[in-house]
Amino acid sequence: MSKISFPAFIPSKYALHNLNGISSYYSRKQGLGDVKKIEKVILEAKRKVEKEIGYSFLRPLAVCIYFDTKDSFRCLHRELSSSMLLVPYSGSDGSLIAIHSETANPVNGDRDRMLRHLSHEFVHLANWEVSGSVKKMGDKSIGMKIPPWLDEGLAEFISLRITGRLANFLESRMVTAIAKSCTPRQIDQFLNNFDSDGRTEAFAIVTSVVQVILAKTSWSELFKDAAKISELEKNWGRYIGGGRRGDSISISE
């Protein structure tokens, strides 16, 4: 097993071992029992995503389990919540998912929660890989070839479906999407702004949109022709609210 080329995001003293083809980095201060517990969920999430979308990852995969937020800050140069997961890097040489340990925050030991969030991140990696996108933290997404609304909508929809939480999410969230009509680009702005009050509603909307899209086509078909995504945006209104709300969408500021 060879190391993947993003050492800046991984503490130099972290241990490394092969997790069924995934490079797993973790602190030697972390109890091995906790490490093995989260690694089991990592493998489950990867397996479920691959089965759900009918795709096998080609880029080398790695996961870094930060012992605490001090370690993640030193490597990512950004203050993160101790419960946060993200992908700081994905390119032709490999992709890295960064998470925090159960020691950093007990919620990271919740199997169901972590399965949902890890599945979400694995869907992002699949989206980026098949679309030829490149992502590096701080690059303002200049290498992305998939719009945020579709990227986040697919990741949210598929991870919720995998964990059996899709129906409850859509039922509880879509009713809050009120007050302002938006275009796909405006939705992208809400999704990219972590401080936006409308971000939650934006996630609900794109999840509902993707639900309708995937009822008519498969995940893999979406990426076979770049014109397909442009066509989806052109007919955006048809997919709003599960295809039942006409040609406009609404979202709070």
- pLDDT score at 50: 98
- pLDDT score at 244: 44
The pLDDT > 70 percentage for the chain reads: 86
Query: Of the ranges 51-55, 179-183, 224-228, which one carries the lowest mean pLDDT score?
Result: 179-183
pLDDT band at 171 (very low <50, low <70, confident <90, very high): low
CA distance 176 to 155: 21
Identify the CA nearest to 150 among candidates 51, 251, 239, 55. Answer: 239
- pLDDT score at 232: 84
**Every domain of the chain and the residues it spans:** 7-136, 148-243
CATH number of this structure's domain 7-136: 3.40.30
In single-letter form, the type of residue at position 173 comes to R
pTM here is: 0.90
DSSP state string for the chain = -PPPS-GGGS-TT-EEEEETTEEEEE-TTS-HHHHHHHHHHHHHHHHHHHHHHT----S-EEEEEESSHHHHHHHHSS---TT--EEEEEETTEEEEEEE-TTT-GGGG-HHHHHHHHHHHHHHHHHHHHHT--EETTSTTTT--S-HHHHHHHHHHHHHHHTT-HHHHHHHHGGG--S-B--HHHHHHHHH-TT-TTHHHHHHHHHHHHHHHHHHS-HHHHTS-HHHHHHHHHTGGGGGGGGTSTT--B---
> What pLDDT, in 10s, does the model give residues 220-241?
999 888 788 888 888 777 766 5
pLDDT over 80 (residue 93)? yes
Query: Of the ranges 78-87, 181-190, 243-252, which one carries the lowest mean pLDDT score?
Result: 243-252
